[in-house]
């Protein structure tokens, strides 16, 4: 994959290094060139000095060919702006943002951003999201993640009970137009529905096909 990481602090440098070691093409953007020293000798990607929401900087980073984008600075406003530019202006499919201050969580959710909260943030969690591109993170408890996602055409006409997996995947709520409801097992899903669900980490591979790409 071609991945752009905005922010080369402790988390960003670790994430970029993990991606680089896996063989991905990684570009790291940071306004402070001294921060690139955190990458170490095993990082073999590209570094660019600049702001992660600057269009010219992003063009230089090759954002038009990017498969994934991670905004992981310690400033929520910077991460939010960078993520929105990457997603809405350049159409990057997999965009993940770091949420440093939980007070802003509702803003991230309203914008439909996939994020990881700074209070539980680890680079491996971001790496998993970049790999899979699944859903919008809401919260997590151990290896159970609560996600919000749009139902893909694959799930059109399927009953909730048919796609749930005992103890591993459970749908808690469905939003359809102006209606929000807690579904019974026989409730039928439609493509475009917004679903709130809990998923065990091990089950993501089995239910990804029900998650529409944003």
What φ, ψ does residue 181 adopt, rounded to 5°? -150, 155
pTM, two decimals, is: 0.63
Mean pLDDT by 10 residues, the chain (214 residues): 94 89 94 92 94 97 96 92 95 88 76 70 62 61 77 95 95 90 95 90 84 74
The answer to whether residues 159 and 188 touch, using CB atoms and an 8 Å cutoff, is yes
Same domain, 55 and 126: yes
Written as six digits, the tokens of 143 are 């290896």
Q: Report the pLDDT value the prediction gives residue 134, as an integer from 0 to 100.
A: 55
Question: Of 73, 108, 133, which residue is a domain's last?
Answer: 133
Question: Of 133, 159, 176, which residue is a domain's last?
Answer: 133
**For residue 155, what is the domain's CATH number?**
3.30.70.1450
Closest CA to 7 of 121, 154, 120: 121
Residues 6+ apart with CB under 8 A from 213: 93, 133, 152
Q: Report the pLDDT value the prediction gives residue 103, as an integer from 0 to 100.
A: 74
CA pseudo-torsion sign 184, 113, 117, 12: positive
Same domain, 52 and 79: yes
Q: Report the pLDDT value the prediction gives residue 62, as an integer from 0 to 100.
A: 97
Same domain, 154 and 125: no
Q: Report the pLDDT value the prediction gives residue 121, as an integer from 0 to 100.
A: 46
Q: Report the pLDDT value the prediction gives residue 136, as an integer from 0 to 100.
A: 61
Question: Of 133, 168, 190, which residue is a domain's last?
Answer: 133
Total domains, the chain: 2
Q: Report the pLDDT value the prediction gives residue 80, as an integer from 0 to 100.
A: 93
Q: Report the pLDDT value the prediction gives residue 119, as an integer from 0 to 100.
A: 47
The answer to whether residues 99 and 73 touch, using CB atoms and an 8 Å cutoff, is no
Q: Which domain holds residue 69?
A: 2-133
Same domain, 195 and 98: no
The answer to whether residues 135 and 114 touch, using CB atoms and an 8 Å cutoff, is yes
Closest CA to 170 of 197, 152, 189: 197
């Amino acid at each position: 994959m071609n991945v752009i990481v905005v922010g080369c602090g402790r988390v960003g440098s670790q994430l970029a290094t993990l991606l680089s070691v896996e063989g991905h093409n990684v570009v790291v953007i940071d306004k402070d060139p001294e921060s690139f020293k955190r990458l170490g000798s095993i990082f073999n990607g590209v570094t660019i000095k600049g702001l992660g929401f600057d269009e010219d900087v992003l063009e230089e980073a090759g954002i038009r060919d990017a498969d994934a984008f991670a905004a992981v600075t310690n400033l929520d406003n910077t991460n939010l702006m960078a993520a929105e530019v990457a997603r809405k202006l350049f159409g990057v499919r997999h965009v993940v943002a770091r949420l440093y201050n939980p007070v802003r969580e509702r803003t991230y959710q309203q914008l439909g951003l996939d994020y990881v909260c700074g209070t539980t943030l680890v680079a491996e969690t971001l790496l998993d999201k970049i790999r899979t591109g699944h859903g919008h993170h809401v919260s997590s408890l151990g290896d159970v993640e609560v996600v919000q996602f749009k139902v893909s055409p694959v799930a059109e006409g399927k009953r909730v009970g048919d796609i749930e997996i005992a103890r591993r995947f459970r749908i808690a709520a469905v939003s359809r137009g102006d209606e929000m409801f807690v579904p019974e097992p026989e409730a039928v899903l439609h493509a475009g529905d917004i679903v709130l669900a809990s998923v065990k980490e091990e089950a993501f591979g089995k239910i990804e096909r029900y998650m529409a790409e944003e």
